[in-house]
Amino acid sequence: MPSRVYVCGINDIDKLKRLMEYDPYLDKSLSEEQLSMLKKDPNANLIFARQDYKIKEGAMLGMDPGKCYLFLSANEEFLAKAEPKLLKSIEGIKRADSETESKVISSIESEISNSEAGIGSIFG
């Protein structure tokens, strides 16, 4: 699956986490009528929580400590529709430049590989 990286100020990390974790279909405060309306809205199915994502502080990646980085892996169709929603929802967020994107993706993939190797050695 394709991956993208977005960057925003560290002060927006909580807002970003809320956006990424929110699934309207699991929201107990919504009425049946509201849920029914959501099913008719094509953007309602742009649920980040159902995608592969990670949020990392810049300091954790050896990068700008004043920034946080969103790694998002999803199919192209989802990414094309979700990017405008993401850019509209978090002020100042933008897609990372290609060099930053490759560094973050490499770091995340290395982290995943190391964790899988650790699990393999436990159960190997």
For the chain, helix, strand, coil in percent to 5 are 60, 20, 20
Q: Does residue 44 lie within any of the structural domains? A: no
What are the pLDDT tens digits along the chain (124 aa)?
Answer: 899 999 999 999 999 999 999 998 898 998 989 888 888 887 777 899 999 999 999 999 999 999 999 999 999 999 999 999 999 999 999 999 999 999 999 999 888 787 665 655 566 5
Range of the domain at 109: 3-15+51-123
| Total number of domains constituting the chain | 1
Q: Does residue 98 lie within any of the structural domains? A: yes
Q: Does residue 66 lie within any of the structural domains? A: yes
Q: Does residue 82 lie within any of the structural domains? A: yes
CATH of the domain at 115: 3.30.70
Q: Does residue 108 lie within any of the structural domains? A: yes
Give residue 77's pLDDT. 93
Q: Does residue 100 lie within any of the structural domains? A: yes
To the question of pTM greater than 0.75 for the whole model, the response is: yes
95 CB neighbour count, 10 Å cutoff: 16
Q: Are 67 and 7 in contact (CB under 8 A)?
A: yes
Give residue 51's pLDDT. 95
